[in-house]
Structure 1
């Protein structure tokens, strides 16, 4: 098909233009020339949704990273933990084989969003499964506190997963893949014009794998999106998706040594503390046959946009999510122990007491049964646009949002009653593990919780002139949390007769102020200061003594808030540089401080109650944490067929201070007679690294496509990532060692439609660990491959 083009000189300077056929012409001014189809290449990226304001990124004092679906697809990435390897300053910790917990810029439990809608589960201090990425268009990472944009608990950053939007263009994407350890995947995506003004995109994905450690995971998901330009001023977008995922769960290998281990025969040192048993089979699976984890979820959202004028529009977004997690896992593997010398090894339990230990056998000491059923409704109404005061342009956004999460958690922790069967407490060989029988389980308790958040917010990005931009943002949040215990008389996932609700009520004003200076249109320098808050969902217990942020003892009100929210701020400076399609670079330097963290000060405070000595726990809001560091990313595209990206993040994320308890009676119980020595011991955590946070992250990836010749359209890609040391507890006594992972692959395209891709992951067969259950480390996958065949229209 031929097209007639009139190409302006400005376009020719900013876009790379490649014509399939060149013609020699005379410079006649009144001649129209017919050219073959033209491909215009540009490095301009879609504006991130996560920033909300409809202005260029270089105008905003924010740090945002992103990765597009094309980069994920060519590398065969369908899991979120693999995708974030290519973003600086972020790590996802996986536990039980299914649950993900996100840390950004040194702080755990970062907020996750889908299409700009908060997954409210991520604001609760536990982990959760994340669906596959088969229908994803891009992933966006907003680094630093974002409470002023998205509400409570957004401390270190926010991760936004953007799903594919419908377009008028007819699309078809079919993909099948096969990989190591019987990893099989099939995806089908179709889209285009449906009827009248309605466009659609639909995607279905199925994955089934035996798995490197025989987990037997299966994932099934679907996605449907519709949009329509109803009138010239009215646009609607509706999206719905579901997933039905099964995970085999993962409890890892038997414990690393918690103490030095000695031979009983000659008293010689056999293993050091934190050593792993020698000779373990890393593919060996110690789970019970009854273990399972299911996650069934579905969601629907609708967004309506009304354009009042070129300078004003109204956006209303309504969403509903239903999520069902159902879990039973063997969990703890304990070695057999005895006070008598009946085993071949021992350790010193105290300076004068030996404990004999059997390193040949473990027993299933604590199977865990729980389930979470969560339903979330959210709505946001935003008015945004621009106006002028004199020659100063204001890009504004104001809105109101409401979120309600109703979550019921069921548990069956009473072993022997809630969990029964021959597998309970069964003994399993360390070197030849086999299930010793099934287990059956029931639920004995339920916890009913309600989370409500109402927020009003306003932002203004002020363009003073071509060089100076100012951002001012305020948000008021009103948060309520209710929790009550209930009975489960049938043992199933149903409850009755829940008690009265405990209640937490918080309100907070958060802000962000920043300035941007553009000495050149390609260069943006910025500085910003932002605040955040995070509710603490703790209620009064009779066996606990409470200490406030000033170190004073206090008596909370029953059924009401105990501790004030955690709060803090971030200061950040950065630079952004964009040289057309050739070079894009971003760098930032940050400091985040979080106050009002809680800590257990002692478990052995003794007092007289009704003539009896009672032992109590003392919990204080005495911790101060901070994270300081820098990150940068650079993308270079010297040729249309050659691109290279690298990024680096450094976090000095530590516990900075443990405030002193001032109450004399409590101080005596906590610090003892040698007060200074006890204080030093208690405060020994000061300066310790925060748990689950890498001190460094680095990634680099590049690709090259042969542009002509008989190997035309043959593409090569390579990627490498580094994760620094990760401490697994606040005492810094256990950790994951640093590791590099390098992947490589090639792709060949036939007739612009058929693609054959081969990837080899963990190319150098690196042995490493990056997840654990307690002291039970989970080996990561060795070298593996995937072959994928896809058809794209």
Structure 2
């Protein structure tokens, strides 16, 4: 805890010193500012007016809101050569991105892995049911915003821990052109072109195109192609229109990593001496070697469009309607398991013990198992209708927002899991060398079944920020959600294609849930640069479990219960409470600081405990076992400090402490919960830290010369709930140097992983994927 205590002490000393320096200055008055953006969080800092934030869509200064926000502007992304969400997340306290299978990304915030993801303020509803899918590249992004704390009242179910919003570039009347070409290690080629300005009449536009190819340091070649167009403007003094269209077609390599770490202590057959400990990686592996099958692939195709119309009646009322549609297709085939050859006979040089039995293992050869074929096609409709404005009752000023949201998610998942029938070819039974991986032969695939699911959500919400006086503000908010889910599995496909005949609605199983959530907050402003806040809110996450005759069900007390096929709700929703307190400080453009303490409690956690065919306590199970058995909580704090001591220099440091643990679990014959209580939650580091600096020389013969560096730290990350498997902690350092020529061209050299750190941050089962070693990127960018 030395690092967080030092940071906290330094922050407190800085705030105290600066507050004394500000004593006696005249107070700045707040005026009701109008803002035409419709975003999760917009922050601008000037010398003439206080920082603005649209995170609650109320158009008031950030100092008035009981929330914690962090923003990564496009300038930071460009300076540090960031185009992927997993790289950007390193600079958001309390956030971690888990990557698997090569491109599936799962975001956790403050220890919770079902964080809501939004694009331009629109929920990606896949976040709430399967928070793991490829993300768009960030070349068309204006900024990335993070709202932490009890956000569910505004953004709906499952918004626990925080909400991440990716804000794309808005149409603008200013003519501009931006072009960038980059080339780097492992044949990394990037080309980006952006332009915009006045189109005709009041309509402005902004467009962006990006293409990237990379062979990859482990021969995991990747191709990304995306396009984006935004149109809009003020049609009249009262009416505003915004249209956004985006599309991408990406190809990713699947990634199964290196052969398994040791499944147990490994002994030599010849003399019974120990050779390796459980969890050891086999020595001598070539980390550049690629073990995937030659037939593996993954495509992601996406099209999205939104239309926003806003009519302003005056300061008292502004009506906004935003309709959006997204089509997303994830097409995947991968051989996922690398298994060492084993035998009950002493024919190999090593063995391990399974109970009282010796299992002999060949550490020189691999069997390629479990080729997995699926395709997820998701179509999402989202409509938000909102009314917001300002009015006064006596001396109290009200900043209100009321709204209704409607979401429909149509998801069809196709699978080809019947090996030999759905997956066939010589590679199906392939074997290869551990130290010299080679082709195991081709495979072809087809689909045999479809899984059909439908989600509908209606949300009604109202919030009001009351300005009681200059120093005291109160936020009151409430939301009611109606959620329904239906599904049907095992639908036959047509001729092995991703097609099927839609079954009758009566064949689907259904669940339905309604829930109320609230939020209240208090803000106190003792002096103008400083605001103190506290807030408390509830949240819920619907449970989508539907009845199956092949499943046994246990409640949160560990008792078995017996639903039937007509049950509209098998388990209660996950519920919880979020509490947060913090401080925000803003001194002109020179110094800003944010600090927040948080506590989050989650009840009714559901978990699969055993599968059909497992042997538990000597019993071979004839059904799957699932139960709602646990309570977990997350507690900690975040701090971020930005300092600009001189013109052209910016220093930012952040630290996150997140202690997420399982606190209670109901035991039953199929789950020994006593050994899990108190264990750290998986995929959530206890400590995370970052510091980055940007400096550009503004005068003299070296004018235009820039330097950037960043250092990040990720603590040890547990990979399972028993805390027996981990990603080790590591530090990472990146740096760059750039020079702006008189012709508006900026040349830049980025060096990533400067000290060639050896690290692991993703895996497939026990097959670890090594991180990229030191690499470089040279770019030339033009802006007008």
> Does structure 1 conserve the Cα–Cα contact (< 8 Å) formed by 2:114 and 2:127?
yes
What's the secondary structure of 1:181's corresponding residue?
Answer: coil
Summarize deviations over 1:680-729 as a string: whole Å, max 9, x none.
Answer: x4321000111111111111001111222211110111101111111111
Equivalent residue for 1:411?
Answer: 415
Q: Does 1:81 align with 2:102?
A: no
- Whole-Å separation in 2 of the counterparts to 1:430 and 1:613: 34
Q: Does 1:716 align with 2:723?
A: no
- Whole-Å separation in 1 of the counterparts to 2:87 and 2:130: 22
- Compare 598-607 and 584-593 and name the one that shifted more: 598-607
What's the secondary structure of 1:200's corresponding residue?
Answer: strand
C-alpha deviation, 1:46, in angstroms: 7.4
C-alpha deviation, 1:339, in angstroms: 0.2
C-alpha deviation, 1:45, in angstroms: 9.1
The equivalent position to 2:737 in structure 1, one of 742, 746, 769, is 746
Equivalent residue for 1:188?
Answer: 193
Summarize deviations over 1:556-611 as a string: whole Å, max 9, x none.
Answer: 1315321111010111100000011110000000000000012345668999xxxx
Equivalent residue for 1:162?
Answer: 167
Q: TM-score, normalised on structure 1?
A: 0.90
> Does structure 2 conserve the Cα–Cα contact (< 8 Å) formed by 1:487 and 1:497?
no
- Whole-Å separation in 2 of the counterparts to 1:425 and 1:45: 66
Q: Is the alpha carbon distance of 1:660 and 1:345 closer, same or farther for their aligned partners in structure 2, counting shifts above 3 Å?
A: closer
C-alpha deviation, 1:387, in angstroms: 0.5
The equivalent position to 2:148 in structure 1, one of 143, 146, 154, is 143
- Whole-Å separation in 1 of the counterparts to 2:646 and 2:509: 62
> Does structure 1 conserve the Cα–Cα contact (< 8 Å) formed by 2:150 and 2:536?
no
Equivalent residue for 1:777?
Answer: 768
- Compare 147-156 and 758-767 and name the one that shifted more: 147-156
- Whole-Å separation in 2 of the counterparts to 1:577 and 1:769: 37
Q: Does 1:105 align with 2:110?
A: yes
The equivalent position to 1:424 in structure 2, one of 425, 428, 431, is 428
Equivalent residue for 1:477?
Answer: 481
What's the secondary structure of 1:564's corresponding residue?
Answer: coil
Equivalent residue for 2:35?
Answer: none
The equivalent position to 2:337 in structure 1, one of 327, 332, 341, is 332
The size of the alignment, in residue pairs, is: 737
The equivalent position to 1:620 in structure 2, one of 627, 643, 646, is 627
Summarize deviations over 1:447-472 as a string: whole Å, max 9, x none.
Answer: 11101000100000000000000000
Summarize deviations over 1:402-447 as a string: whole Å, max 9, x none.
Answer: 0000000001111111110011120011100011210001111101
- Compare 544-553 and 383-392 and name the one that shifted more: 544-553
Equivalent residue for 2:750?
Answer: 759
C-alpha deviation, 1:144, in angstroms: 2.4
- Whole-Å separation in 2 of the counterparts to 1:43 and 1:453: 43
> Does structure 1 conserve the Cα–Cα contact (< 8 Å) formed by 2:667 and 2:673?
no
- Compare 536-545 and 284-293 and name the one that shifted more: 536-545
C-alpha deviation, 1:258, in angstroms: 1.4
Equivalent residue for 1:287?
Answer: 292
Pairing of 1:138-537 with structure 2 (within 5 A): 138-350=143-355, 352-485=356-489, 486-496=491-501, 498=503, 500-537=507-544
Pairing of 1:675-690 with structure 2 (within 5 A): 681-690=672-681
Structure 2 gaps of 5+ residues are: 1-24, 29-44
Equivalent residue for 2:723?
Answer: 732
The structure whose Rg is larger is 1
> Does structure 1 conserve the Cα–Cα contact (< 8 Å) formed by 2:107 and 2:131?
no
> Does structure 2 conserve the Cα–Cα contact (< 8 Å) formed by 1:225 and 1:240?
yes
Q: Does 1:555 align with 2:546?
A: no
Two-structure CA RMSD over aligned residues (Å): 2.0
- Whole-Å separation in 2 of the counterparts to 1:261 and 1:442: 39
Summarize deviations over 1:234-290 as a string: whole Å, max 9, x none.
Answer: 000100000000001111000011101111111111111010000000010001111
C-alpha deviation, 1:214, in angstroms: 1.1
Q: Is the alpha carbon distance of 1:710 and 1:381 closer, same or farther for their aligned partners in structure 2, counting shifts above 3 Å?
A: same
- Whole-Å separation in 1 of the counterparts to 2:266 and 2:53: 54
> Does structure 2 conserve the Cα–Cα contact (< 8 Å) formed by 1:41 and 1:640?
no
Q: Does 1:131 align with 2:139?
A: no
C-alpha deviation, 1:747, in angstroms: 1.2
What's the secondary structure of 1:638's corresponding residue?
Answer: coil
Equivalent residue for 1:791?
Answer: 782
Q: Does 1:640 align with 2:647?
A: yes
- Whole-Å separation in 1 of the counterparts to 2:48 and 2:221: 41
What's the secondary structure of 2:59's corresponding residue?
Answer: coil
Q: Does 1:569 align with 2:577?
A: yes
Equivalent residue for 1:53?
Answer: 58
Pairing of 1:632-711 with structure 2 (within 5 A): 632-660=639-667, 669-670=669-670, 681-711=672-702
C-alpha deviation, 1:363, in angstroms: 1.1
